[in-house]
Chain A
Amino acid sequence: NAGVTQTPKFQVLKTGQSMTLQCAQDMNHEYMSWYRQDPGMGLRLIHYSVGAGITDQGEVPNGYNVSRSTTEDFPLRLLSAAPSQTSVYFCASSYFPRTAREKLFFGSGTQLSVL
């Protein structure tokens, strides 16, 4: 099993550009989520999904869109990139329900710089 596959690993954008971060998992996990990691701060939840067709906002959703058309894929879209979105992004998945008590599997991360 590949686990959680996240692409790209690095990306540089100009302000105003759009892009999609890809996340796929092959463990049949219902729960998938996106986090951003900034210096001096804990991981913060952007959006999450508890199954195909179901998404919800996390702590810092502004400027990001998600969709969940299949169990396997959960892409994160930046509609109009801003320098404040410079960060390291992680996708994660786990079983659902009782997600808090399930092991969380992370992708390898995407380092995004917005100039």
Chain B
Amino acid sequence: KNEVEQSPQNLTAQEGEFITINCSYSVGISALHWLQQHPGGGIVSLFMLSSGKKKHGRLIATINIQEKHSSLHITASHPRDSAVYICAVGGATNKLIFGTGTLLAVQP
């Protein structure tokens, strides 16, 4: 079993829909990262969080340390949100463990 599991693996939504991507992990962590990768593009850091909730524009990330679970929400989704969203967790070492990503397609 992978130490970081994301669901769903693939997600198709209509423009304007509210989207949720989930990340569960089995190891102790000090922080969790959400990253975005556009097709053929580089990887961009969206959030780093260790507790609670963070918001940036239409993106909201939450984490529940006790349940070892995080969610990334996208409100009023837009085709430009189409990308792979990657969850990564970091513990006491300098190494991150990455999930396999969620491929999101937002159709107009």
Q: Show 25 A/B contacts (Cβ-Cβ < 8 Å), sorted by A.
A: A42-B4, A42-B86, A42-B98, A42-B99, A42-B101, A44-B98, A48-B95, A90-B42, A90-B43, A92-B43, A97-B94, A100-B30, A100-B31, A100-B89, A100-B90, A100-B96, A101-B48, A101-B50, A102-B48, A103-B45, A103-B48, A104-B35, A104-B96, A106-B42, A108-B41
- Residues on A with beta carbons closer than 8 Å to the beta carbon of B2: 42
Q: A41-B100, A42-B98, A45-B95 are in contact. Are A105 and B45 (CB under 8 A)?
A: yes
Give A residues with C-beta under 8 Å from B.
31, 40-45, 48, 50, 58-59, 90, 92, 96-109
- Residues on B with beta carbons closer than 8 Å to the beta carbon of A107: 42
B25 CB, nearest partner CB in chain A, Å: 12
Do A42 and B97 touch across chains, with their CB atoms under 8 A apart? yes
The interface size of chain B toward A, counting residues with CB under 8 Å, comes to: 29
Do A96 and B94 touch across chains, with their CB atoms under 8 A apart? yes
Q: A101-B48, A103-B48 are in contact. Are A40 and B42 (CB under 8 A)?
A: no
From the candidates A44, A50, A96, A106, name the one contacting B44 in the complex (CB within 8 A): A106
Q: How far is the CA of A103 from the CA of B49 in the complex (A)?
A: 10
Do B96 and A45 touch across chains, with their CB atoms under 8 A apart? yes
Q: How far is the CA of A114 from the CA of B9 in the complex (A)?
A: 28
From the candidates A41, A42, A44, A100, name the one contacting B29 in the complex (CB within 8 A): A100
The residue on A at minimum CB distance from B89 is A100
The residue on A at minimum CB distance from B4 is A42
Indicate with 1 or 0, residue by residue over B69-108, a CB within 8 angstroms of chain A CB atoms.
0000000000000000010111111111111110000000
- Residues on A with beta carbons closer than 8 Å to the beta carbon of B33: 104
Do B42 and A101 touch across chains, with their CB atoms under 8 A apart? no
- Residues on B with beta carbons closer than 8 Å to the beta carbon of A44: 98
